[in-house]
A and B are shown apart, each in its own frame.
Chain A
Amino acid sequence: MSRWYDVIVDVLKRNQIRLVTYVPDKVLTPLIKAIEADGYFTVFAVAREEEAVGIVCGSWMGGLRGIVLMQTSGFATLGNVLASLAVPYQIPLLMIVSERGTLGEFNQGQALVCRTMRPLLTSLGIETHTLSRSDELDFTADRTISQAIATQAPAALILSPLLTHAKRQELQ
């Protein structure tokens, strides 16, 4: 079976998502490496997740599709930019959030911030799907992205430890 990050790279290319901006996270590392290794993408790190959202919203308006990769804690910094830029301006901002703070978290801060993520997404009406199974990964990621673009609305894909954790990788 394909590795989760290879599937995501494939889905991004299929949807012509060429610009990838991120603030890193341990779980995202193999995905970032795979994207960096593929000349199709322009990929770089930014200082803050909010900044990445600004860049990708600008690039969308200029005709270049992009995505922001971040960790749960980074997502928690985005309430204002989602509510004042991406949602009201009807920009199909794409986000991949690596989910920390659940299923074996050791850091209390991460566990708490994780609980703010889905309520924030729900309150802004942002289409959200959690990626936890390899057999659904391609379909869910691909369809979420194409729907976001078609409906001009932001969307979030949450990478669950069920998909990304090393112990689960052995099973897949």
Chain B
Amino acid sequence: MSTRPSQGEAVQSQLLNRFDLTARLLSRLTRDEAVIGGIGNTNFDLWAAGRRPQNFYMLGSMGLAFPIALGVALAQPRRRVVAIEGDGSLLMQLGCLATIAERCPANLTLLVMDNASYQITGSQPTATHYGADLVAIAKGCGLADSFWAHATEAYEGLLETALSSDRPHLIAARIDKSPGQGSTDRDPSWIRDSFMRGLGTRQ
């Protein structure tokens, strides 16, 4: 199956690929932007797409990639902050979308990799498989600039807008079932220390 029905949207999504989308994000980054990868495949692909000291890799705390990114964005308003989260993880912490909408950080971009499953634990279906629409949910939480990237070109265009906007953007993509391409180092204090050096908060 190469496509599945898109919910609440007239356009049928082409299934994109998480590693490709992540690599495309990284190739656009120019100004030491911070990137936070959520649990499992999102941080595996972030790791595989190219290590940078401004990347933060979450090894647990399922659902907290967006809140962590909000914290970084509030601390460093002049730095662009991007967070990448899976659909299962976001479903666990939907309330954070309302918090982000209320704070409205100009420098925050949220990416959702929706494979309609908890892929890393055995590909059990998530609620998005049955129709929950994370972009509609984000809009309902007050994040007006929330979009489905229906194809690669659209994703690139949305990213370009998001990374130069003065409002938080959420870009979601329906992705295929390819596994994560890498395996993140499992040393949390090293990850934190390296990230802080990347952000200039530690010399």
Q: Which A residues contact B (CB, under 8 angstroms)?
A: 19, 42, 44, 46-48, 50-64, 66, 80-81, 83-85, 88-91
Contact = CB atoms under 8 A, between A and B. Distances in A.
A53 B60 CA distance: 13
Nearest to A48: B95
B96 A61 contact: no
B60 A50 contact: no
Contacts, number: 121
B103 interface: yes
30 contacts: A19-B74, A46-B67, A46-B95, A47-B98, A50-B93, A51-B67, A53-B67, A54-B61, A54-B66, A56-B71, A58-B71, A58-B72, A59-B72, A59-B74, A62-B71, A62-B74, A62-B79, A63-B201, A64-B76, A66-B71, A80-B60, A80-B62, A83-B60, A85-B58, A85-B60, A85-B61, A85-B68, A88-B59, A89-B189, A89-B191
Chain B contact surface mostly: helix
Interface of B: 34, 36, 56, 58-64, 66-76, 79, 93-96, 98-99, 102-103, 188-189, 191-192, 195-196, 199-201
A55 B196 contact: no
A172 to B, nearest CB: 35
A81 B61 contact: yes
A4 B45 CA distance: 48
A46 B99 contact: yes
